[in-house]
Homo-oligomer: A and B are copies of this chain.
């Protein structure tokens, strides 16, 4: 019974996510669903990406949090369109919340949309939002055993960003074993090692984003 209710909820969510995707496509907006544990660096990565790409790419942001608007205020200072979603008690964004946020964004002025999900490695993986790509930020201080503990998340994403590699010197974190565990769960995932503090590895992330956007634009033009 409980499982049936969950299936119904997820099924309804998929339908709304599909409508979100159509809305994004019709406006030429490439959207990324950004997920991580609390404090792994989602907002820092968005800020760094905005600073580096601002001149050439029109960026927009949806900020998802249980409460507060701290992140939206930080992003807003960069002069890009941003909408804060407060989920109340929910531990993830869903397609419906995303739809309401999309209705309040100037989609015609946005080419790249980041949807920063709630800080959580579990439920966020289950709910489609309609984004074109799913990206996980995994922070080195969290330890190298996370793929074993949160397999669904690692299975579902297109990219894993291993963030805070500037701290590796001070941590026990086996990068080789970690990558192997991730690839075992998902052999088509791309893994980039980055630090939003030192800027290390950010260029590879930006190249990936720009390639994906070009691919998306070519699809749209057909």
A residues touching B (Cβ–Cβ < 8 Å)? 37-40, 65-68, 70, 89-91, 118-123, 126, 139, 141-143, 145-146, 148-152, 164, 166-167, 170
Contacts and interface: CB of A to CB of B under 8 A. Distances in A.
A72 to B, nearest CB: 12
Kindly list the 3 A-B residue pairs having the minimum CB-CB distance in the complex, ordered from nearest: A39-B142, A91-B122, A141-B141
Contacts of A120: 91, 120-122
Nearest to A167: B170
A72 B142 CA distance: 18
23 contacts: A37-B38, A37-B39, A37-B142, A38-B146, A39-B143, A66-B122, A66-B151, A66-B152, A67-B149, A70-B145, A70-B148, A70-B149, A89-B122, A89-B126, A90-B122, A91-B122, A91-B123, A119-B121, A119-B149, A120-B121, A141-B164, A166-B170, A167-B167
Number of copies: 2
B121 A38 contact: yes
Contacts of A91: 91, 120, 122-123
A40 B89 CA distance: 22
Nearest to A141: B141
A149 to B, nearest CB: 5
A170 B37 CA distance: 20
Contacts of A164: 141
